[in-house]
Amino acid sequence: MIYFLVVISFFVSLVLNYFLRKVGEKYGFCDQPYIGPLKIHKKPISYLGGLAIFLATVFLFFINKSFNFQIWGILFGGFLTFIPGFWDDLRWKKEGVKPLKKLFFLVLFSLLVSVILINSEIKINFLPGKIIIFLLTFFYVSGLINAVNFEDGIDGLAGGLAAISLIGFIILSIILGNNLGLVISLILLGAVLGFLVFNFPPAKIFMGDSGAYFLGFVLSILAMLFSLPFNFKSLIGPIFIIGLPIFDTAFVILDRIFQRKSIFIGGRRHFYDRIIQRGFSTRKTILISYFFQLILVILGIIIYIYV
């Protein structure tokens, strides 16, 4: 019965994305195209897809009725992660707010979320010590919400990569009997697939920063749920399952540092950008990225289970 969660979540997300696409177009909640290196769409597109993913996920948790202190911690932390991204989508993008201001609030909310998660017994406990656990948990939350956001540069990419990771966490949850990890992965997978129906190129709706932040947050939760004390493979395995967002972000940050450029300003040096620059279409670029993500996920499962 638990596996029907992904089906229900998919249809709820599908309806919400269809409805919020119309709302965004009607009331101007759209990402506006303009001449610049980071905008490739030619008409206004609703950025309320992240809200659809968030609402579908929360709704499924409520109808599943499997609440405990960890679920409440995840929902509250997810809400706090979603808020700055949603505010960015609604206001800051239009106002041209400086990246450092966004970073300040992102760090602040990530700190609050880390405190909530640790008090909900969700944390990276690879090494002992309250300070180390807090720093690692904060690093995972803040790092992954940015990593997923970095991959939201072309239609269908961030959501598709997240879906492949979630399938990996579903497999890992089944093998290890992790019921909480399984429930979270199934619910979010359905929500993401419902979104991808409208986001696969050419996109009719975007997830916005709110959706990217929320996906990154949930992926960080899943990584924490499989973290074991002094167990190196439990640290590395989930990193590979999350996959391309982590490795691509690490590469881009190092690349910008070596080029003496700000790591807070967007550019076109990501993995998917390099594929497109070689002459591949958007769809082929996505499929190539999906393939590499699948390889990384398989390696992550093997590392966690068999190494």
Predicted confidence (pLDDT) per residue in 220-274, tens digit:
999 999 999 989 999 999 999 999 999 999 999 888 888 777 666 666 778 999 9
State residue 135's pLDDT score. Answer: 95
> What are the DSSP calls for the chain, one per residue?
-TTHHHHHHHHHHHHHHHHHHHHHHHHT-EEPP-SSTT---SS-EE--HHHHHHHHHHHHHHHHT---HHHHHHHHHHHHHHHHHHHIIIIIHHHT--HHHHHHHHHHHHHHHHHHHHHTT-S--SS-SHHHHHHHHHHHHHHHHHHHHHTTTSTTHHHHHHHHHHHHHHHHHHHHT-HHHHHHHHHHHHHHHHHHHHHSSSPSB--HHHHHHHHHHHHHHHHHHT--TT-HHHHHHHHHHH-HHHHHHHHHHHHHHHTT--TTS--S-SHHHHHHHTT--HHHHHHHHHHHHHHHHHHHHHHHHH-
pLDDT at 35: 44
**105 φ, ψ (degrees, to nearest 5):** -70, -35
Which regions in the chain score pLDDT beneath 70?
Answer: 1, 34-42, 66, 94-97, 262-267
3-state SS of 217-241 is HHHHHHHHHCCCCCCHHHHHHHHHH
Give me the pLDDT at residue 260, please.
72
Q: Quick count: other Cβ atoms within 10 Å of Cβ 145?
A: 27
What are the DSSP calls for 37-75, one per residue? TT---SS-EE--HHHHHHHHHHHHHHHHT---HHHHHHH
